[in-house]
Amino acid sequence: MLETLVRHLDMIRLTVVAASLLVAMGCSGLIDGGSNGNLTPEEVAARRLWTEKALPQLQANCVICHNGSRANIGFVVGDNDLAIRDAILAYTPTVANLDAPSSSRILTKGIHEGPALDAIQTSDILEWINAEKAAVPDPGEDGPRLETAQILPTICTSGLPDSPGAPNVNCLYNNIPLDEIGAVGAKIQFIAQALGSGLYLTNLKLVPAAGGAFIDHPLFVAYPADAEAKADTIDRFFSVKMNLMATATAEEQQIGGGTAAFVGFFSTDKISIHFKAISAFKPDEVGPPPATGCLRLAEFKANAAQPLQTNCASCHAGGGNPNAKSAVNMDNLLSAVDDDVLLACNQIRTRMNFQDLNLSGLYLAPAPANNNHPFRFPSQAAHDTFKNAVQVWALAEQTAAP
Ligand code: HEC
Ligand code: HEC
């Protein structure tokens, strides 16, 4: 409800802007959007922000690699400004998320082979995405329902759900049913723990029923009792698409490595999951891409785990820095339980660039010259030592057959 209210406030503001534009242009009635036919005032406002604010920032900082010249990352492509806008909005996996503008991947990607956006660049692009959101017509009651009911998660305070003597009343699985939104019998399952800074989910799975389950782009949203709804700050599951038959293994059911820390979600907040699309198993859909978890755990344990623990865990693990942990969770690097180390390795793996290992976020973030990350190695030599150790695992992982 708050969301609707906020959206309406936005529209009122935009309508005022658009109305003054109309006066300035000395015309009345609907605005002629040229080849695009008649546009609503909200659409006019969004397009203006695109050409004046968002596009210039993307052109200055991102276009060089994202203009289609390189495979699989061409989201800033098109013959004219409007075509580029259409391409970026239609790009899959979603990089501009109208359901949670500030979580959009183009804003939250951070340093990778490309640079991180600074505060002004971020706000220019965010303003545009917010305006695009306000310009989307309300689907009304007839539109497809893509969001689960809101549930108050049960917090696990000790042990695990399957510990001996189960059920363990101190640690129960949470199950969010997907029946009402198109995947009959299927559910999202997880264990929830409260961190001072947010909510920490493990064993996060899509559990299919007899008809299987298909989900595209799950987005977690928290609903505090007395504040605005907030979405996962980094839209981490933007590229998650799962198409499971009833027979899917526990491993195949895992969502994005199976663990996620949501900064700013509190244990007293209800949560829901929003999807871009959801249904029963889709026989025609191309199967899920091969699992992208770590394949070379032995090398990870022998070479990468210790240097990561020594240099990074103070912020990226335990009660460290919530934002750090949300970006890359490094809990359990040195655990004696391989399954736990695997979760850490899976997280680290998402920060590797297997086309060119030297350009991996894991190496770029703590580089001595990077002012965007709170920790930098004090010298090139120290950075090299770290990198050379981790690289033993990375090279093994790069060539490992799935
Ligand atoms: C020097 C080349 C280069 C530049 C410049 C660049 N990128 Fe990238 N970008 C890449 C490569 C390579 C990938 C794929 C590997 C990866 O995800 O790190 C990528 C992937 C992405 C993705 C993919 C989805 C994701 O979240 O993993 C997003 C979003 C993105 N970049 C945003 C940006 C933004 C925003 C800018 C401008 C501030 C930018 N990039 C500038 C090279 C670049
Ligand atoms: C002093 C605390 C601190 C330490 C130590 C630290 N980090 Fe971070 N790191 C952060 C924070 C905070 C973020 C979240 C993004 C931000 O706020 O810049 C982050 C984000 C990252 C990211 C994601 C980058 C992005 O922009 O999305 C990577 C990769 C990363 N850190 C790697 C490392 C590595 C590797 C080490 C150890 C060599 C390390 N960090 C040590 C605080 C730290």
Per-residue confidence band for 390, with pLDDT thresholds at 50, 70 and 90: very high
Per-residue confidence band for 127, with pLDDT thresholds at 50, 70 and 90: very high
Q: Is the pLDDT of residue 2 over 90?
A: no
Per-residue confidence band for 54, with pLDDT thresholds at 50, 70 and 90: very high
Is any atom of ligand 2 closer than 6 Å to the C-beta of 255? no
Per-residue confidence band for 394, with pLDDT thresholds at 50, 70 and 90: very high
Quick one: pLDDT at residue 14? 33
Q: b/e for 118-146, b at 16 or more Cβ within 10 A?
A: eeebbebbbbbbbbbbbbeeeeeeeeeeb
Q: Is the pLDDT of residue 35 over 50?
A: no
Nearest ligand, CA 363: 2
**Mean pLDDT confidence for 154-163:** 83
Is any atom of ligand 1 closer than 6 Å to the C-beta of 95? yes
| Sign of the alpha-carbon torsion through 386, 392, 396, 399 | positive
Contacts with 28 (C-beta within 8 Å, 6 or more apart), sequence order: 22
Quick one: pLDDT at residue 289? 53
Count of beta carbons in the 10 Å neighbourhood of residue 359: 13
Nearest ligand, CA 95: 1
Nearest atom in ligand 1 to 356's CA: 12
Among all chains, which residue has been given the structure tokens 């190496």? 363
Is any atom of ligand 2 closer than 6 Å to the C-beta of 313? no
Whole-number Å distance between alpha carbons of 236 and 330: 16
List, in order of start, the domains of the chain with CATH numbers.
2-135 (no CATH), 174-279 (2.60.40), 297-399 (no CATH)
Quick one: pLDDT at residue 353? 80
Nearest ligand, CA 364: 2
Is any atom of ligand 1 closer than 6 Å to the C-beta of 395? no
Q: Are 214 and 178 spatial neighbours (Cβ–Cβ below 8 Å)?
A: no
Is any atom of ligand 1 closer than 6 Å to the C-beta of 63? no
Q: Choose the most confident range, by mean pLDDT, from 13-17, 251-255, 374-378.
A: 374-378
Whole-number Å distance between alpha carbons of 149 and 314: 37
Pocket test for ligand 2, best of 328, 357, 359 (most atoms within 8 A of CB): 328
Is any atom of ligand 1 closer than 6 Å to the C-beta of 376? no
Q: Is the pLDDT of residue 61 over 50?
A: yes
Nearest atom in ligand 1 to 58's CA: 37
Residue nearest (by alpha carbon) to ligand 1 atom 36: 62
pLDDT in tens, 132-151: 999 988 766 666 778 999 99
Q: Is the pLDDT of residue 55 over 50?
A: yes
| Ligand 1 centroid – CA 48 distance (Å) | 25
Residue nearest (by alpha carbon) to ligand 1 atom 8: 114
pLDDT in tens, 277-335: 999 998 877 655 555 689 899 999 999 999 999 999 999 998 888 888 878 889 999 99
Nearest atom in ligand 2 to 362's CA: 29
Quick one: pLDDT at residue 92? 85
Smallest CA-to-CA distance from 304 within 388, 366, 383 is with: 388
Nearest ligand, CA 313: 2
**Mean pLDDT confidence for 241-262:** 87
Smallest CA-to-CA distance from 288 within 343, 394, 208, 188 is with: 208
Pocket test for ligand 1, best of 55, 69, 73, 91 (most atoms within 8 A of CB): 73
Q: Rounded to the nearest 10 degrees, how much is the dihedral formed by the CA atoms of 101, 103, 105, 110? A: 130
Quick one: pLDDT at residue 257? 75
Is any atom of ligand 1 closer than 6 Å to the C-beta of 66? yes
Nearest ligand, CA 94: 1
| Ligand 2 centroid – CA 315 distance (Å) | 7
Q: Are 370 and 376 spatial neighbours (Cβ–Cβ below 8 Å)?
A: yes
Q: Are 389 and 303 spatial neighbours (Cβ–Cβ below 8 Å)?
A: yes
Per-residue confidence band for 245, with pLDDT thresholds at 50, 70 and 90: very high
